[in-house]
Amino acid sequence: MPTSQPPRALFAMNPVHLPELFPPRLMRRLQSSADVDAALVVRDFGDPAIAGALAEAELLLTGWGCPRIDAAVLHRAPRLRVVLHAGGSVRGWLDDAVWERGLAVSSAVQANALPVAEYALAAILFAGKDAFGLRERFRVEQVRPPAGALAGVGNLGRRVGIIGASRVGRRVLELLAPFEFEVALYDPYIDGATATALGAVPLPLDQLLATSDIVSLHAPDTPETYRMLDQRRLALMPDGAVFINTARGALVDPDALTTELISGRISAILDVTEPEPLPARSPLYELPNVFLTPHLAGSLGNELERLGRAVVDEVERLAAGEPLLHAVHHAQLANSA
């Protein structure tokens, strides 16, 4: 049943993001379903000035820059029942106390996966055309390369290896479907039938690396995936292969990757690195076989509204007495981003 009174809600994030997450038309939608002050954005739960608002809050609407929510915060928020995050992962800033008290949690991780998958698709298509390598050559020679130099360039029948059937990985698989690629997938948490249903051939990781022209990484950052692509595994990639990382830099041994890229044996399209940003002395800034971007694949600019819309949708579901669509459960965190 719909609630008789709109729930009291409170923003907690870096306020610079609020106008992009909730532009006026979206803020109006939100305020029709929740009692929320658009001028009050919490940066510090210990601030005495927000004590009253925190004590009355039933919903926390969080985003990037939200302070950590722990047992002390929950003690000052006795009416709090739901945390709705206008961002991706909630790991790292939600204390176990949140789950122990039984709060409902939702994340816009599905919405945030969309632009990352779009970036990955673009990277895959450009990689198959050797767009970045040929651009570097064109910059130097300023003439079109001879036909013989283009042998093997193109996306028809190229093997693309996807590591991780995460939300991003699955969306990438969907986006690849119209193209005539051979798609392989490695994910230890899904079976062969699921991989096939996703449009991919299931392969062990070593075999995927050794047989793919393009490898796109979409696994979560967990203790199990730390440095999963080490020196031995990177060496399995064929000469001329392209490695794409829009996941996290920690999944790859940075020294081993740098060594491979300096050799010129493989190329890379990197939106994330380890560390991030790279130090000024890193050769990756200058290598012609490396296309480096500053962690821009995820939601930014006008794409942030999509994250805010996911939160407003959840608030409207709660107001209508419906369950959260993008609920996050504590047991999921160990194997998710």
Mean pLDDT rounded to a whole number for the chain: 95
Q: Is 101 a catalytic residue?
A: no
| Sheet order of strands, 182-186 included | 201-202, 182-186, 159-163, 214-217, 242-245, 267-270, 290-292
**pLDDT given at position 333:** 76
Q: For 215-237, what is the mean pLDDT?
A: 97
Catalytic residue (one of 276, 322, 329, 330):
276
Residue 334 has pLDDT above 70, yes or no: no
Report yes or no: 233 and 206 within 8 Å, Cβ to Cβ: yes
Residue 1 has pLDDT above 80, yes or no: no
- How far is 21 from 89, CA to CA, in rounded Å? 16
Of 32-36, 149-153, 189-193, which gets the smallest average pLDDT? 149-153
**pLDDT given at position 336:** 66
Catalytic residue (one of 85, 159, 171, 248):
248
Amino acid at 185: L
Q: Is 326 a catalytic residue?
A: no
Residue-wise pLDDT tens digits, 34-76: 999 999 999 999 999 999 999 999 999 999 999 999 999 999 9
**pLDDT given at position 91:** 84
pTM: 0.93
Q: Is 295 a catalytic residue?
A: yes
Residues in the chain: 337
Cβ neighbour number for residue 220 with a 10 Å cutoff: 21
Catalytic residue (one of 295, 306, 316, 317):
295
Residue 87 has pLDDT above 60, yes or no: yes
